[in-house]
Amino acid sequence: MLQTELKQSGRIRPTLPACRDVSVIATLGVYGLYAGSGFLIPLSLALLVYVLIIAVSDRVTNILPLPVWAANIIGVAVVLVGLFMVMFVLGNQATHFARAIGTYETQFDNALSRVVALIGNDVAIFIRDNLVNIDMSLVARSAFGGATSFLNTFLLISLYVAFMMAERTIFRKKIQLAANDQELGRDLTSMMVAISGSLQSYVGVKSFVSALTALVSYTVFRLLELEYAETWAVLTFALNFIPSIGSIVAVIFPALVSLVQFDTMTPFLVIVLFCGTIQFLIGNVLDPALLGKSLNMSTFMVILALTFWSAVWGLTGAFLSVPLTVCILIVFSHIPALRPIAILMSKDGELMSTEPPKEENRTAS
């Protein structure tokens, strides 16, 4: 009798078989993400690019009285040209770096001697044991290979995005037909609208904030005459999408290069202090103010997501950790049995409204 009442009230405790099934499904899911990374990573990047295109397209229609197809063309042109320029800069400068690698080995030894004299003997021993034997030619080949691989992936991402754009206008209608239930169709549409809105807000704000940070950093690099300033600016833009540690790494790389290039510590200190301060102010003041409640995820969950997706998909997983986790949070919030998990993942325990905005409904119709 008591068990029946608990079932009716929805408070019955999960049984051992249920916990076992959830564990098996979770394990298979993680293994599937790892094993299918070659297919899933380009698809996830394509989805992120698609969301960015839609965000640009929507902004264009809000500013100019253009038809949807024209705004979509402008969005595709802006985003894909920007991505191509990023890949061109990385690929071109990686080639120049590989050709000049012989001169950097000598400069690296000289810079290491200055650092050793500055920090003392104990740390000097550690640096000599771990850094002196670095094969700089291997570093160059790895960087060049990574840039070339991403250039090859760019074509596949562009192909995915093209078909997604072609399916945009009829996808919601197909979901309604596939659901075969009016209420379920509304729930699925509501979930898609929430995911699209959150991702558009996140990608738009992060792109603006990262571009602003990269522009300020690039100005500093050019004033200091730091070599490969364009590469470090592009990396600054990309690394700012990685929560917490991305902004730190974006300062460390050019700072270390300044030690190799220059004979004094002044450029190193300027990059660390000035660029580090800019990263801190933008990341902790401007970024949260612009995002507001669109990214309603706890700080601990951000770090946990970064750790998980980095372990599964490497650097690309770190780049996609927040968008993917936001999608999971929204999906959980639309499933009654998983809403408690979504509440724990959220920042303040209050989930975003699941009702689609009127604008979205009007557009979908």
CA nearest neighbour of 83 among 57, 112, 46, 116: 46
Q: Would 4 be classed as within a structural domain? A: no
Task: Please indicate, yes or no, whether residues 226 and 336 belong to a single structural domain of this protein.
Answer: yes
**5-9, 54-58, 77-81, 154-158: least confident range:** 5-9
Give the 3-state secondary structure of 283-336.
HHHHHHHHHCCCCCCCHHHHHHHHHHHHHHHHHHHHHHHHHHHHHHHHHHHCCH
Q: How many domains does the chain have?
A: 2
Task: Please indicate, yes or no, whether residues 281 and 151 belong to a single structural domain of this protein.
Answer: no
Task: Please indicate, yes or no, whether residues 111 and 172 belong to a single structural domain of this protein.
Answer: yes
Domain boundary among 125, 153, 179: 179
- Say which residue the tokens 């996140």 belong to: 202
Domain boundary among 133, 149, 179: 179
Give per-residue pLDDT as tens, 243-286. 878 888 888 888 888 877 887 888 888 898 998 898 888 877 77
Task: Please indicate, yes or no, whether residues 127 and 192 belong to a single structural domain of this protein.
Answer: no
The parent domain of residue 356 ranges over 181-365
Q: Would 23 be classed as within a structural domain? A: no
Domain boundary among 160, 179, 198: 179
CA nearest neighbour of 83 among 111, 53, 104: 53
Task: Please indicate, yes or no, whether residues 220 and 289 belong to a single structural domain of this protein.
Answer: yes
Average pLDDT over residues 30-57: 85
- Say which residue the tokens 């009016």 belong to: 182
pLDDT confidence bin for 352, thresholds 50/70/90: low
Task: Please indicate, yes or no, whether residues 175 and 186 belong to a single structural domain of this protein.
Answer: no
Task: Please indicate, yes or no, whether residues 231 and 141 belong to a single structural domain of this protein.
Answer: no
pTM above 0.95, yes or no: no
Contact call for residues 351 and 342 (beta carbons, < 8 A) = yes
Task: Please indicate, yes or no, whether residues 248 and 317 belong to a single structural domain of this protein.
Answer: yes
Task: Please indicate, yes or no, whether residues 91 and 221 belong to a single structural domain of this protein.
Answer: no
Give per-residue pLDDT as tens, 77-99. 888 787 777 777 766 666 666 56
Q: Cα Rg for the chain, rounded, in angstroms?
A: 24
